[in-house]
Amino acid sequence: MDVKGCAAIVTGGGSGMGAETGRFLAAAGAKVALLDVNLDGAKQVAGEIGGLALECNVADAASAQAAIAKARETHGSARVCINCAGIAPAKRIVGRDGPMPLEDFTRVIDVNLVGTFNIMRLAAADMQTLDPVTESDERGVIICTASIAAFEGQIGQAAYSASKGGVVSLTLQAAREFASNGIRVVTIVPGLIATPMLLSMPKEVQESLAQQPPFPKRFGRPDEYAKLAMHIIDNEMINGDCIRLDGAIRMQPK
């Protein structure tokens, strides 16, 4: 699908992979709305690309509904929805202070899994109202972001792994459900990508992690995620899949 002139929604658009994908979409001619709890970050990227910055907590029904309505009012219903919002706090199931507080687990599930579902349901409802645009009657594409922690969760990643595993499981189900409306659902499964999420870890942890991908032996870059997202949007045979972007890394227990 050609994104020129299309409306696009990017959650987590104020930083990292979401911000970079917003830049790529705008460069290709899309009208981009950046939804983020961090409004300052979203505003900065929006200023760069002539996009729309909207404050949004993806885990909250009313907040997401309001942000998507505002994006629709400004740009029209989106044909492209990129779910990048996410958090990755680490904690053991049973740590030195006892069992993980249940709310710590729930919070990660709320943002990463419920948040992805929340935006997906609202974006898909809007996409279904649009006219098809390709020979195959495609109406739109929803891209979600899981993590290799969905498959190889390290110690301390219980909540994160479970949340991203949920995103992986949702992908095929949603693609099947939306197929009759010409809407694809694809999930990108990043390995280690150099964004504020990763670069906020201690230097020694970063140095050790950067050595782990077999090839290339470095962190991935946000533009490598954005390029894959743009290819997925363009290539309509990619549907219902989870695509690893990880330099062949397979994370060890710790």
Tokens linked to 149:
């922690």
Number of alpha carbons in the 13 Å side-chain half-sphere of residue 25: 36
Q: Are 52 and 73 in contact (CB under 8 A)?
A: no
Q: 190: closest CA among 225, 237, 164, 233?
A: 225
Q: Which of 41, 153, 156, 213 binds ligand NAD (CB under 6 A)?
A: 41
Handedness of CA 23, 28, 29, 35 (dihedral sign): negative
Distances (CA, A) of 209 to 212, 218, 254: 5, 8, 10
- The site map against ligand NAD for 54-93 (x = CB under 6 A) is --xxxx------------------------xxxxx-----
Q: Identify which of residues 35 and 130 has a Cβ nearer to ligand NAD in the complex.
A: 35
Residue 119-158 contact track with ligand NAD, rule CB under 6 A, x = bound: --------------------------x-x-----------
Closest distance to ligand NAD from the beta carbon of 133 (Å): 27
- Whether 225 is a known active-site residue: answer no
Query: Least CB distance from residue 180 to ligand NAD, whole Å?
Result: 28
Min separation Cβ 134 and ligand NAD, Å: 28
Residues acting as catalytic residues:
160
